């Protein structure tokens, strides 16, 4: 074990502060990574504040990790010291259930080992759990480490590891492409990647936003149309139009208002994870054989495919770089929907020691 410096919260109501915790030594199949950048996902906030159930404390979040390989175990074949690599929301899974063997580790029957706040069998003591990327370094088994194209700006590539794959995976699964009318709900970290991907895949993209000040950005990011979702008349004009709607909203909102916008046999997919259950009117689905589904991040294979696509098409996130000690203010700005469009922490700003 070695001591690692990071930033974490001591309780659901405490601010994040510098702390130290233990990482495992680099084992035979492990890759040890010096973290250079980490994106700030809204899931970090949900977890730090115990919005999805009681979290484990201290809680060190961060699952949009980019860094350089500094050590590899003797059995590692795909990585070498100096490689630019990424780690997303998972660091392990059972590897033998149907989902794992299909390359969809995020749906592992035994639950994946999440990058933070997840039971960690690598430590002998009972109750050990994982610590995320708001930290100096991380040790991850090779299978869960991604190659990041060297042509991409590593800071702007960090959000691809969660916001990127979470929006890519449903677009790929439902085969969204040319000739499709696609709606994206919410222009945050996930939503802005959804707009970029859906446009790159050839769809006609309409952004739905509650924020009138994001209209120009929506268009700059490639959306063909932007609708202010608080405008009832504008929403009514969109009824029965869409083949596919991706909902990336983090807070309570009325999904029925969007189901009505789907054409017959259209699909609406939730990727946003508000803390409270939502109510769905059966008539909105039954009347036009519409379907409502959900989707979680993406498997390791498709994450690599997404990164390679981004390398080829030069796609990254629009980011605001912050120092580690600005994280608590950054959380408040995310909660006000005031980020353009992902905060990324410069890990050089982490203190050397505490």
- Per CB under 5 A, 278 contacts Zn ion: no
Q: Considering the complex, what minimum distance in angstroms separates the CB of residue 305 from ligand NAP?
A: 17
Which one of 26, 66, 91, 187 is in contact with ligand NAP (CB under 6 A)? Answer: 187
Please check whether residue 262 is in contact with residue 239, taking contact to mean a CB–CB distance below 8 angstroms.
no
Closest-CA residue to 44 (of 85, 4, 88): 88
Binding mask 316-345 for ligand NAP (x = CB under 6 A): ------------------x--x-x------
- Per CB under 5 A, 273 contacts Zn ion: no
Q: Considering the complex, what minimum distance in angstroms separates the CB of residue 6 from Zn ion?
A: 17
Q: Given the complex with Zn ion, which of 260 and 297 has the nearer CB atom? A: 297
Neighbours of 346 (CB within 10 A): 15
Q: How far apart are CA 139 and CA 350, in angstroms?
A: 18
Q: Considering the complex, what minimum distance in angstroms separates the CB of residue 328 from Zn ion?
A: 18
Q: How far apart are CA 173 and CA 149, in angstroms?
A: 23
- Per CB under 5 A, 93 contacts Zn ion: yes
Q: How many helices (H) and strands (E) does the chain have?
A: 11, 17
Q: Which stretch binds Zn ion (CB under 5 A): 47-55, 154-162, 245-253, 259-267?
A: 154-162
Q: How far apart are CA 319 and CA 216, in angstroms?
A: 17
Q: Which residue has the tokens 């959380």?
A: 331
Q: Pick what 226 binds: Zn ion, ligand NAP, none; C-beta below 5 to 8 Å, kind-dependent.
A: none
Q: Considering the complex, what minimum distance in angstroms separates the CB of residue 162 from ligand NAP?
A: 5
302-315 residues labelled b (16+ CB within 10 A) or e (exposed)? bbbbbbebbbeeeb
Where on the chain is the footprint of ligand NAP (CB under 6 A)? 41-43, 46, 162-163, 166, 186-191, 209-211, 214, 248-251, 253, 271-273, 295-297, 334, 337, 339
């Amino acid at each position: 074990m070695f001591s690692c410096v990071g930033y974490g919260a001591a309780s659901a109501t405490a601010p994040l502060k510098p702390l130290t915790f233990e990482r495992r030594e680099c084992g035979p199949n492990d890759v040890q990574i010096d973290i250079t950048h980490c994106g700030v996902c809204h899931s970090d906030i949900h977890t730090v504040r115990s919005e999805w159930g009681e979290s484990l404390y201290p809680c060190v979040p961060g699952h949009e990790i980019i860094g350089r390989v500094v050590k590899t175990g003797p059995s590692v074949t795909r990585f070498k010291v100096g490689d630019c690599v990424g780690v997303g929301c998972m660091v392990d899974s059972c590897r033998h259930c149907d989902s794992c063997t299909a390359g969809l580790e995020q749906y592992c029957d035994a639950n994946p080992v999440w990058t933070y706040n997840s039971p960690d069998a690598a430590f002998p003591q009972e109750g050990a759990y994982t610590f995320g990327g708001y930290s100096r370094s991380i040790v991850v088994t090779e299978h869960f480490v991604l190659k990041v194209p060297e042509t991409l700006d590593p800071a702007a590539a960090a959000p691809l590891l969660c916001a990127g794959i979470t929006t890519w995976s449903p677009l790929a699964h439902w085969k969204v492409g040319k000739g499709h009318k696609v709606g994206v709900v919410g222009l945050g970290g996930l939503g802005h990647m959804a707009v970029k991907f859906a446009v790159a895949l050839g769809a006609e993209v309409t952004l739905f936003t509650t924020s009138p000040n994001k209209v120009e950005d929506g268009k700059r990011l490639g959306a063909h149309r932007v609708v202010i979702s608080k405008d009832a008349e504008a929403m009514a004009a969109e009824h029965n139009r869409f083949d596919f709607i991706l909902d990336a909203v983090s807070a309570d909102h009325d999904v029925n208002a969007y189901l009505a916008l789907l054409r017959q046999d259209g699909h609406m997919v939730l990727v946003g994870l508000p803390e409270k259950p939502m109510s769905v009117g059966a008539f909105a689905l039954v009347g036009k054989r519409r379907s409502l589904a959900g989707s979680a991040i993406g498997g390791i294979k498709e994450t690599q495919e997404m990164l390679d696509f981004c390398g080829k098409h030069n796609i990254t996130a629009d980011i605001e770089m912050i120092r580690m000690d600005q994280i608590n203010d950054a959380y408040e700005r995310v909660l006000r929907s005031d980020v353009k469009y992902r905060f990324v922490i410069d890990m050089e700003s982490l203190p050397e020691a505490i």
